[in-house]
A and B are shown apart, each in its own frame.
Chain A
Amino acid sequence: MQPELKKPEESKKVDTSKPVRAVRKSCTADGVGLSHYILMDRKAK
């Protein structure tokens, strides 16, 4: 059974006082999906 779902929290607050925003994250690359298929090993919710 799928667990009871809660309404999502508000989207994160954006700091509009900052003139420039940027984020870059990194990890080991292991993507192998293509337009005919995606491996589902991540949870949607």
Chain B
Amino acid sequence: MLTTVHTPVGQPATAGRFCNTGYGPSLMPLDIGHPDWMAILGPETAFWSLVRRERLADALADPELLLESYRERRPEFQAEMDQLRFGLQPSAVYFNATDRCNLDCTYCYIPGDLRRHGAHMSGDQLLQALARLKEYFATSMGETTRKPRIIFHGAEPLLNRAAIFPGIDAFHDDFQFGIQTNSTLLDAEAIDFLTTRAVSIGLSLDGPEAAVTDRTRTAWNGDSVHAAVLRSLERLADYPALSVITTVTTANLDRLLPLVDLLHEMKVPACLLNPVRCTLPGARTVKPDDRALATALIAALERTHVLYRASGRKLIVANYANILLAILAPTARRLMCDISPCGGGRAFFAVAASGDLFPCSEFIGLEAFRGGNLFQDGIANALQSAPFKLVTGRDVERFAPCNTCAIRHYCGSPCPAEAHEMNGAMERTGAFCALYEELVRHAFRVIADGREGDFLWEGWDAGTTTLFAL
């Protein structure tokens, strides 16, 4: 049956009537491992649909089942993805107020010498830096009710709380603040300061017991920090703006289920179960096998679902929730690693304690990716610098195998720092290609079973509009 076709200029009226040839859209079938459903994806627009297995051939051949409705909306989806991938302006800064850290984690992306002997940013410099950032965002973000975000990150930011806390007080009307800390210095006074100012707090914990956490996260002298993190979690049990990062490595791969149990029991609302970033050689010593990692992560995800069903309380695994969002509502994603180009240097950038500017904190320590200095060169110049362009120009549409991958805009082939340092070039995949293959398939199975809401924040779609529904 020939149906109405939006004919490209200068082309015959039948142009685009078929999928996968000529002007027709690319629609790729994907086996998601579900007994009843397969996916059909439009990779370049991040379009997805689920099709009964027995109707797969019909869905590709009968324009009225899928092709016609997709073809009508394809330009809109393409424009949305173009805006998301190329049209954003920075609205957040990862701010290292110190180079130093009191821990020596196996996988840290900041070189050990810098963490041991680096500098603190002075209080005056920090205030001056925040003033410059405020000025920049006032221009770059235009008219918006949304505040730019400043996330104090590390190294260990609380080593320089004497500079950070006055900065939060001085600019609390101008920025939404967050802090990622190893929690060893997060005493009652600091918790009171941060929670009364609604600062988003992220802690780091790698194991359900000290013996596991200690394999990758200890003080320089080897002392355990596990108990300190648990104390902080107890104190923050009812704090809604709390999250925990777990770096998944060979050291804790077999302990993710009890770790998820612990985080849920301690009323943590959200965590990141992040595959270790393999940017520096130390991290690669604890890199898990790609598929073993996928199996363990999916088991942990399903455990959070069991806990939710039993208790009514969710533990959101944010890096997985982000994959669901990338499918259901691409612009609603919270994390900007698994999109290409990634968020580094375009949705956010990083400031080191010296004021040096990097596309992302993952690049701090890689001098070749320094784009300038906040105090000397300015932000706009850094964003246009060659090192930033290297990162913002990394596009999965332009290198194999990503450019023909059906899930490239749910994955984004993270991370450019990892690809460059571990695999030798920007236009290579990151460390965990197979992991994304499995997680995306799992996400589609969850959607096929109508369980996606169980893995997402309450009200995740508030503020969204439905562009397309079949």
Contacts and interface: CB of A to CB of B under 8 A. Distances in A.
A19 B283 CA distance: 46
B287 to A, nearest CB: 14
Interface in B287-337: 308-316, 318-319, 322, 328-337
B278 to A, nearest CB: 12
Given A24-B329, A25-B464, A26-B80, 16 more contacts: A7-B309, A19-B59, A20-B51, A24-B330, A24-B468, A25-B465, A27-B331, A30-B146, A32-B91, A33-B322, A33-B335, A33-B337, A34-B335, A37-B178, A40-B202, A45-B458
Contacts of B240: 40, 43
Given A13-B450, A44-B457, A22 B468 contact: yes
B241 A16 contact: no
Interface SS of B by simple majority: mixed
A37 B265 CA distance: 21
A42 B460 contact: yes
A21 B277 CA distance: 35
B187 interface: no
A27 B332 contact: yes
B336 A25 contact: no
A23 B468 contact: yes
Interface in B438-470: 448-451, 453-454, 457-461, 463-470
B153 interface: yes
B192 interface: no
Given A24-B329, A24-B467, A38-B318, A19 B450 contact: no
Interface stretch (B42-50, B123-131, B366-374, B397-405): B42-50
B330 to A, nearest CB: 8
B5 interface: no
Interface of B: 36-37, 40, 47-52, 55, 58-59, 65-66, 73, 77, 80, 83-84, 88, 91-92, 94, 146, 149, 151, 153, 176, 178, 180, 200-202, 237-238, 240-243, 245, 267, 269-270, 272, 274, 277, 308-316, 318-319, 322, 328-337, 342-344, 347-348, 360-362, 414-415, 448-451, 453-454, 457-461, 463-470
A44 B55 CA distance: 37
Given A5-B311, A19-B55, A29-B331, A24 B77 contact: yes
A35 B88 contact: no
A13 to B, nearest CB: 6
Contact of B91 (A30, A36, A37, A44): A30
Given A7-B312, A20-B470, A26-B329, A39 B200 contact: yes
B348 A34 contact: yes
A24 B52 CA distance: 19
B347 A32 contact: yes
A18 B348 CA distance: 42
B312 A35 contact: no
